[in-house]
């Protein structure tokens, strides 16, 4: 069973888009996508520095466009071509990439939504001094209890012993001064407390745009960050996308669902590495491929072909 996953904010690094723009037709594609997003995606993905692409309003459209570009290079026309995959999932903003791969959103609709999402979340983050801290290790119950005692939200429950705490700067400072036993804390370079109540203004903003979009039902299994469920209704998935802005990401639940479905191979779209790293512990025995540059496409295509051949044999009743 082949799974395609798309990473969330924080995975971007300066210049990561440059090699993808060298592929045939990509420069023209990014010119169109830049018009939709209202950003010069080529500039931000090639020439911008780390501070520029840390901006939420920039990072989110950049991530989705990069994932879509790699999917086009791997699969062809992601809008109409049948997808040789059994499941697709995205982490946080990566859910918009996943929705486009599954056919719920047109690429242009995904980019319009993510641009509005990024602007809305950046504005919401500017209202209060907030942030996020990764909590690595420690007893899970003790970590969650410590977060609650400090008024923090487990904004990302990534499984594999990793939970991301989010809240005000003061709350995070108090938490850092009194960490859970055997846990390591790492402050994240993000602009605010994403996936918490602090993002409520962004939910309202994105909801207005979502009302103008007509989603289709997914053409493959599409997982939701809310609870790891496979969502078969496009309208419901779009609603979940909007509400997810201010509610925690349960990637641990998505991992559990993929295990239950019988995942055997996982391909992560660029900027790849984070989700394949989590899968190393959360999905043991599953072949993992982080597609970081076009040089990784050959192996990705081999995995797709191997999957297609295996599926065909199973359909014929052959081992």
229-234: which pairs have CB atoms within 8 A and are 24 or more residues apart? 229/253, 229/257, 230/87, 230/257, 230/261, 234/104
Contact by Cβ (8 Å): 7, 63: yes
> How far apart are alpha carbons 77 and 63 in whole angstroms?
19
User: DSSP E strands: which ranges in 48-175?
Assistant: 87-90, 130-137, 153-159, 162-168
Which of 34, 65, 150, 195 is an active site residue? 195
DSSP three-state, residue 37:
helix
The closest of 188, 268, 237, 281 to 2, measured between CA atoms, is 268
| Catalytic-residue membership of 198 | no
Which of 92, 226, 246, 253 is an active site residue? 92
| Catalytic-residue membership of 43 | no
The closest of 234, 235, 236, 216 to 226, measured between CA atoms, is 236
Angle formed by the axes of helices 297-315 and 56-75, to 10°? 60
- Catalytic sites, residue numbers: 92, 195
């Amino acid at each position: 069973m082949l799974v395609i996953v798309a990473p969330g904010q924080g995975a971007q690094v300066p210049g990561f888009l440059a090699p993808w723009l060298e592929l045939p037709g990509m420069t023209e594609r990014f010119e169109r996508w830049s018009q939709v997003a209202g950003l010069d995606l080529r500039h931000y993905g090639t020439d911008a520095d780390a501070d520029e692409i840390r901006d939420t309003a920039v990072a989110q459209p950049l991530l989705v466009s990069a994932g879509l570009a790699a999917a086009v290079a791997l699969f062809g026309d992601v809008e109409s071509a049948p997808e040789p995959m059994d499941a697709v999932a995205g982490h946080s903003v990566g859910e918009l990439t996943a929705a486009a791969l599954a056919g719920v959103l047109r690429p242009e609709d995904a980019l319009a939504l993510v641009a509005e999402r990024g602007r809305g979340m950046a504005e919401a983050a500017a209202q209060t001094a907030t942030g996020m801290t990764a909590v690595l290790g420690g007893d899970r119950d003790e970590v969650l209890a410590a977060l609650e005692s400090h008024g923090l939200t487990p904004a990302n429950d990534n499984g594999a012993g990793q939970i991301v705490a989010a809240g005000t700067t003061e709350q995070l400072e108090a938490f850092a001064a009194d960490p859970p036993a055997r846990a390591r804390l790492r402050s994240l370079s993000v602009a605010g407390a994403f996936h918490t109540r602090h993002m409520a203004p962004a939910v309202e903003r994105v909801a207005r745009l979502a009302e103008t979009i007509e989603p289709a039902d997914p053409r493959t299994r599409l997982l939701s960050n809310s609870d790891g469920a496979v969502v078969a209704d496009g309208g419901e998935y779009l609603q979940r996308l909007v509400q997810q802005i201010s509610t925690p990401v349960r990637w641990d639940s998505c991992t559990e669902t993929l295990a239950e479905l019988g995942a055997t191979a996982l391909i992560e779209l660029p900027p790849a590495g984070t989700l394949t790293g989590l899968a190393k512990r959360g999905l043991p025995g599953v072949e993992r491929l982080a597609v970081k540059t076009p040089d990784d496409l050959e192996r990705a295509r081999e995995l797709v072909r191997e999957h297609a051949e295996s599926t065909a044999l199973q359909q014929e009743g052959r081992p």
